[in-house]
Amino acid sequence: MTAPTRAVAQGTFDLLHPGHIHYLEEAATYADELHVIVARRANITHKEPPILSDRQRRETVEALGVVDEAHRGHPEDIFVPIERIEPDVIVLGHDQHHDADAIRETLADRGVDCRIERATAREPTHDDELLSSGAIIDRILERRG
């Protein structure tokens, strides 16, 4: 019997929305198991910090049927969970700021052999569909702020 293949998706996952679900469902098609790494608040420097705690975001992601296991990111080294999970593929979100070539190089330097894919964007299904946590927060502030 062969070992199951593993895919890794990663992100902040603050205020889950249909864009997140699309990303995770697509990532799951690349392997038998989907592992999700939820970024720690302290490591998020490219945008506003998340509203929800690290623990709550991880638990929410893990509750999704498409996810086999959710992990919190490492406090200092984002590649530690990757080395532990040993994925066959890492699936980046369509709009994530990561440089796929730089990730490949770092993985090769660390002896991790996996490919990198990029998920497609989810197209809105109606005019008022919100596909980002920032857009959800803006809508809340607009209506209730």
98-114 confidence digits (pLDDT tens):
899 999 999 999 999 99
- How many Cβ atoms sit within 10 Å of the Cβ of residue 19? 21
Query: Amino acid identity, residue 82?
Result: I
| pTM listed for this prediction | 0.93
Which structure tokens are listed for 57?
């975001």
79 annotated as ligand-binding = no
Averaged over successive runs of 10 residues, the pLDDT of the chain (145 residues) comes to 92 94 98 98 90 97 98 95 97 91 95 95 88 90 91
49-65: pLDDT as tens digits: 999 999 999 999 999 99
Mark 32-57 as b/e (b = at least 16 C-beta within 10 Å). ebbbbbbbbbebbeeeeebebebeeb
Position 53, amino acid:
S
Please, are residues 106 and 80 in contact by the beta-carbon 8 Å criterion?
A: no
Residue 94 annotated in ligand binding: no
Tell me the domain boundaries of the chain.
6-144
User: What pLDDT, on the 0 to 100 scale, is given for residue 87?
Assistant: 97
Residue 22 annotated as binding? no
- Is 113 annotated as a binding-site member? no
Asked if 31 and 87 count as a contact pair (C-beta separation under 8 A), the reply is yes
Residue 18 annotated as binding site: yes
- CATH architecture, range 6-144: 3-Layer(aba) Sandwich (3.40)
